[in-house]
Amino acid sequence: MQATDSWPAKVRRWCAIVSIGVFAWTALVFGQTKPDMLPLPQTPQQPDSEAPAFTFTAVTRMVIVEVVARDREDNPVRNLTAADLQISETIDGSKEIPEKIASIRPVNDAVAAPSENKKGIVLSWLHKSFCPLTGAYELSYYLSPESRKDGLHRIFVSSSRRDLRLFFRPGYRIEADKPAQVESSELATKESSASVQKRQLLEAERKKHPELELAVTACYDTLGSTDFNLELKKTATIQDTDDKGIKGLIDVFEFLASGSYFASRSAPDREHPRQLDFSFCTFESGGQPLRHFEGTASVGSAPEDYRALAEGGFAHSIKIPEERCHPEKTRLVCIPPLTELDGRQGFIPKLAFSGRLVVRDRESGALGSAEILLVDLGNDQFPAPIPQGKTNESFGTKKPESPLAMCGDVYQLEPWTRKLPLFSELDATAPLYATSLGVYSRFFTAGIPGVTSRTEWFGVNYQSVFGIDKPGKYEFDLLSDDGAKVYIDDKLIVSDDTVHSPKGSRGKIQLEPGAHNIRVSYFQGPRVEVALVLLIKPPGRAWRLFDTRDFPNPDQPGYLRRKLSVQ
């Protein structure tokens, strides 16, 4: 006789089946799906008195880290895989917790902007860039159960590949189940903390002495951009006698502040005088500050004065004692003349090579700047002929004039930078676009219009793709002042990475038909000249300015190749 279950036994069996089903459903949802947030448990409707009390913390499981990979030469690493990486976290100083990488995918033509992927915690690009970031990846991983906690999460990503440099935001914070941004000081190491503290102390000192700010700007070119145009010229050299009866020469300079600036002032601003503080700094040939002069000029004592200022601008003269020694044509003239005692004492004349004037409206804080060359630059030597009519004065335009243009990120560099920085470690300030690089050697006075007013201490990192239809050895010739490098397919072809006067360097590479990557990294060190000219000599043809329109990417058949002449 077959036994039958009693009613209590049936209930227990039914509960066990339900429990197994719930357990399976939970494992399916929690273990295989990829929700942004863990799902809340569903509870039946019950009277408040009978409802069980739940304490539930929901933590985002997915973390997405946008990573830029570079090699030692700052070239993009284009073949990174999950097998190359290990990732872990610490929470408020805990031991490292290994995390499992869910996916890694290259992000083509990425720029350093917030990711559109909203699933999970998204840590966007670390350093700002306006040009496409090749060698960029989106890395995602699931938080382990031990990592699903509130607190400061530090991320550690390492690689088994040698000479690999990774750039990513190294942490985030979870508070009340919501991911939050983290201040860089919270994640700083002891070494970087010391650097931050030093920078903060310098900033505090500058705030204590605002009267020095203009002198620092004039002598060390810490400009970002200026607010009004300024012209500067030398008008005369006059003889003068000081109170001790010593005769000397005085140089007279005149600056003109543009009328458009005064025309832009509001009506209340035109009812009282303005004070224009100015700082004039002269420099040696190597860019070191030599002498500094400062003063103040009053502008516009009445509303009617501003009408004249709006039409003609404001002119003001500056008188500066001339150096003891100065060049006259091919000889050096010193007043008083050099003596044997000067020679025995090792006196070396220091000549003013150039000058910079910075003017600031004391009320509005608006800045204007101007440069002046005080001696002849002389001739520059360059081995390859510069094509007539092909050079220009521009590092590029703010908007691309051709779909084939190279894109260049512009960076502001620290004063006395002596070689090319690793641009991937810096934030770009603006983009430039150029189909060719033809900035022949010249006195640099205006910066890059619309991008930066700096005439020294800036860099540009150009990149593009060009196409080759004829195999062979291609020669490249680079004229630069100061340092520059040319990479073809991430290989260094031409390098002259030093502070120097304009000079040329050559390199060659065997190229096969197809698309090739090019990167030109350039920095302008100390004043006063700039130069950046890139020439190419295709097989069987003459030297010519490298122009991306002559070498379109074969993957873009809509762009027709311009026929290259033999000469």
Per-residue pLDDT in tens (0 to 9) along the chain, 567 residues = 444 444 444 435 544 444 434 343 333 333 333 333 333 333 333 333 333 333 334 456 889 999 999 999 999 999 999 999 999 999 998 999 999 999 999 997 777 665 565 668 888 899 999 999 899 999 999 999 888 888 899 999 999 898 899 999 999 988 866 666 676 666 665 555 565 666 677 667 666 666 688 998 899 888 888 889 899 999 998 887 666 666 677 889 999 999 999 988 888 888 888 899 999 999 988 888 888 999 999 998 777 888 889 999 999 999 988 776 767 766 777 766 777 777 666 666 677 889 999 999 998 899 999 999 988 777 766 767 777 667 777 899 999 988 899 999 999 998 889 999 999 999 999 999 999 999 988 888 888 888 888 889 999 999 999 999 899 999 999 999 989 999 999 999 999 898 988 888 999 999 999 999 999 999 999 888 899 999 999 999 989 999 999 998 777 655 555 555 555
> Are 369 and 296 within one domain?
yes
pLDDT at 210: 65
**Cα separation of 348 and 268, whole Å?**
53
> Are 230 and 91 within one domain?
no
Identify whether 201 is part of a domain: no
Domain boundary among 325, 356, 373: 373
Quote the longest CA-to-CA distance of the chain: 139
Identify whether 3 is part of a domain: no
Identify whether 328 is part of a domain: yes
Identify whether 445 is part of a domain: yes
Tokens, residue 23: 């357990």
Domain boundary among 349, 373, 397: 373
pLDDT digits (tens, 9 = 90+) for 195-245: 566 667 766 766 666 668 899 889 988 888 888 989 999 999 888 766 666
Contact 478, 505 (CB under 8 A): yes
- Pick the closest to residue 537 from 496, 506, 560, 492 (CA basis): 506
> Are 444 and 507 within one domain?
yes
**Cα separation of 275 and 463, whole Å?**
45
pLDDT at 221: 83
> Are 431 and 361 within one domain?
no
> Are 121 and 228 within one domain?
no
Identify whether 18 is part of a domain: no
Q: Which helix (H) or strand (E) holds 101?
A: strand 100-106
Q: Which helix (H) or strand (E) holds 17?
A: helix 7-32
Q: What is the DSSP string of 295-324?
A: EEEEE-SSHHHHHHHHHH-EEEEEEEEPPS
> Are 103 and 174 within one domain?
yes
- Can you give the residue range of the structural domain that contains 452? 406-550
Contact 410, 429 (CB under 8 A): yes
> Are 359 and 442 within one domain?
no
Identify whether 314 is part of a domain: yes
**Cα separation of 454 and 95, whole Å?**
47
Domain boundary among 176, 191, 206: 191
> Are 143 and 253 within one domain?
no
Helix or strand or coil: residue 143?
coil
> Are 241 and 365 within one domain?
yes
> Are 351 and 420 within one domain?
no
Identify whether 317 is part of a domain: yes
Q: How many domains does the chain have?
A: 3
Q: Which helix (H) or strand (E) holds 326?
A: strand 325-328
- In the chain, the amino acid numbered 543 is W
> Are 139 and 228 within one domain?
no
Neighbours of 66 (CB within 10 A): 25
Identify whether 208 is part of a domain: no
pLDDT at 545: 92
CATH number of the structural domain spanning residue 540: 2.60.120.1560
> Are 186 and 82 within one domain?
yes
- Pick the closest to residue 91 from 173, 26, 35 (CA basis): 173
**Cα separation of 181 and 183, whole Å?**
7
